Amino acid sequence: MSVEPLVTPEWLNERLGDPSVLPVDVRWYLTEPGRGRSDYDAGHIAGAPFMDLDADLAAPRGQGPGRHPLPTPEQFAAAASRAGIGPDTHVVAYDSSGGAYAARLWWLLRYFGHEQVSLLDGGWPAWQAAGFPTETAAPAIAPAEFVAVPHPGRVVDAEQVDRLRRDPRALVRDARATERYEGQVEPIDPQAGHIPGARSAPFAGNLSADGTFKSADELRDRYLALGADAADPIVCYCGSGVTAAHDVFALHLAGRTDALLYEGSWSDWSSDPSRPVATGPGEP
C-alpha cells in the first residue's frame, strides 16, 4: 500500500484510533542530550512511542563512519519492534524541528524496506496549535515483528563522495546551516568548512515560515535552481547523516526520489586530515 510522504495534523487526528497508523515521536536536539525524551515525557501525541535518535536510529559511535552510523539491520529491527512497527504499520514520524530529525526515521524505514511512512507536516508545534489529543504517559506498545532488509545502494561513503564531487554530472549538496558550510562556525566536528565542490542547500530552506514544508512546486523550483534537474546522481550530506535526510525527503517531494545519503557526512569527512576542506560561500 502506497502512502503520502507528507500528512497533515488533521489527517492524523482522524486516524488516531486506527491500529494500522502509528505516530512516532523523534524529538531530538543536537546540543541538548536527553531533552527529546524529557519533552516527550512532558507531552506527546496520544498513542505515540518515543524513538531516540542516538539509541534507536543510529549505531553506537565507532561502529561505522561519523557521529551517527547507520544501525545494523538487527539493531534497527529491534528498535522498530519495540516501537510497535510491523509490516503493515503506517508510521507518521514527527519532531519539533520541521522534520529535521523525523526525516531520519522516514529515511531509515525506507532504507530497511518499509515504505509505509510519512512525516507529519508542522510536527509537534502544529499538533499542539490544533488542540489535538496529547498525553504524558508512554503508551503500552505491544512489540511487533519487523524484518529489516537494507538497500545499500541508497548510501555512499567518503571514497564515493570524493569521486562524485569531481564528476560534473553529479551534485553533492550540504544540508547544514550556511555558517557551518562556509566554515564560520563548527560546534561539534573536527574541522570547519565543507567538502570541496559541494553546494549549500540548508534543510531549513525546505520549510515555510510556519515550519511546514513548502509546496512540491516550490521545492522543485528550489532544487532546479540548485542544479538538481540534470544531476545524476544527487548526494546529500550534513553533519552526521541526520538532517541530510530532510533534503532527501524534500527532493522526494519535488520528484527526485533517487537522492543518495552520505552516511558519515561531515563528521566522517572532517575526521581525516588528509581529505580536502573548503571554506567560504563556494558555488551557488
- pTM: predicted TM-score of the whole model, two decimal places: 0.97
Equal CATH topology for 6-150 and 153-269:
yes
**Is residue 284 scored above 70 in pLDDT?**
no
pLDDT digits (tens, 9 = 90+) for 79-132: 999 999 999 999 999 999 999 999 999 999 999 999 999 999 999 999 999 999
Mean pLDDT for all residues in the chain:
96
- Residue in this structure with the C-alpha cell 511487533, named with its chain if needed: 144
| 238 annotated active-site | yes
* Top-level class of domain 6-150: alpha beta
Catalytic residue among 170, 226, 238, 259: 238
pLDDT digits (tens, 9 = 90+) for 223-232: 998 889 889 9
Superfamily per CATH, domain 153-269 = Rhodanese-like domain (3.40.250.10)
Nearest CA among 110, 131, 134, 116 for reference residue 25: 134
pLDDT digits (tens, 9 = 90+) for 141-195: 999 999 999 999 999 999 999 999 999 999 999 999 999 999 999 999 999 999 9
- SS3 assignment for the chain: CCCCCEECHHHHHHCCCCCCEEEEECCCCCCCCCHHHHHHHHCEECCCCECCHHHHCCCCCCCCCCCCCCCCHHHHHHHHHHCCCCCCCEEEEECCCCCCCHHHHHHHHHHCCCCCEEEECCHHHHHHHHCCCEECCCCCCCCCCCCCCCCHHHEECHHHHHHHCCCCCCEEEECCCHHHHCCCCCCCCCCCCECCCCEECCHHHHECCCCCECCHHHHHHHHHHCCCCCCCCEEEECCCCCCHHHHHHHHHHCCCCCCEEECCHHHHHCCCCCCCCECCCCCC
Distance CA 181, CA 202 (A): 9
Contact 46, 134 (CB under 8 A): yes
Grid cell locating 77: 529491527
Say what the pLDDT of residue 230 is.
87
pLDDT digits (tens, 9 = 90+) for 180-231: 999 999 999 999 999 999 999 999 999 999 999 999 999 999 999 888 988 9
pLDDT band at 283 (very low <50, low <70, confident <90, very high): low
Counting residues of the chain whose pLDDT is more than 70, the rounded percentage is: 99
pLDDT digits (tens, 9 = 90+) for 72-81: 999 999 999 9
Distance CA 111, CA 263 (A): 12
Contact 21, 14 (CB under 8 A): no
Ordered by start, the domain boundaries in the chain are 6-150, 153-269
